Amino acid sequence: SKMIEIAKKKMTERRIENICFEQSTIFNEDIAIESFDVALAFNMLHLMRDGQLAIQRIYEILRPGGVFISDTVCLGEGRSFLSIPILLLSKIGLIPDVIRYEATDIEAMITEGQFHIVEAARFSQRPPNYFVVAKKE
């Protein structure tokens, strides 16, 4: 909600009127099929028990030609200084469980979700992450 407040402020400052912001769960049944042009999933997929299900839902709510942009921490790739603290914090319940994806896992989920990957890159190695731009044909 705080990010939406910031975005609305910037929208007003820049006199932009054709944007709508909503806060919801991806599985909200009130979200109409093919109703969005863009879906962002930043630092989210590794926290979901079923990332594939989330990607399928994103595919459903995007219009044809819609864009899905994801940035996911990939703790399954090599050693990260965050791996042990994250594991310990999740075991004692202070943070949610973290799925230890590799970049190939993210690519597979996205392409199995019928998206076409337009661009993919690693922008950070600490922690390792994977940035993907994909399109619904």
Residue 83 dihedral angles phi and psi, to the nearest 5°: -55, -50
Residues 38, 73, 56, 32: is their CA dihedral positive or negative?
negative
What per-residue confidence (pLDDT) applies to 111? 96
Whole-structure pTM value: 0.79
**Mean pLDDT, range 75-101, rounded to an integer:** 78
* Distance, CA of 85 to CA of 29 (rounded, Å): 36
What per-residue confidence (pLDDT) applies to 78? 65
**Mean pLDDT, range 81-107, rounded to an integer:** 83
pLDDT digits (tens, 9 = 90+) for 108-127: 999 998 999 999 999 877 77
Ordered alpha helix ranges (H), 62-133 = 83-91, 103-112
pLDDT digits (tens, 9 = 90+) for 20-79: 888 888 899 999 999 999 999 998 898 888 999 999 999 999 999 999 999 998 888 766
Residue among 97, 86, 94 nearest 128 (CA): 86
* Distance, CA of 15 to CA of 19 (rounded, Å): 11
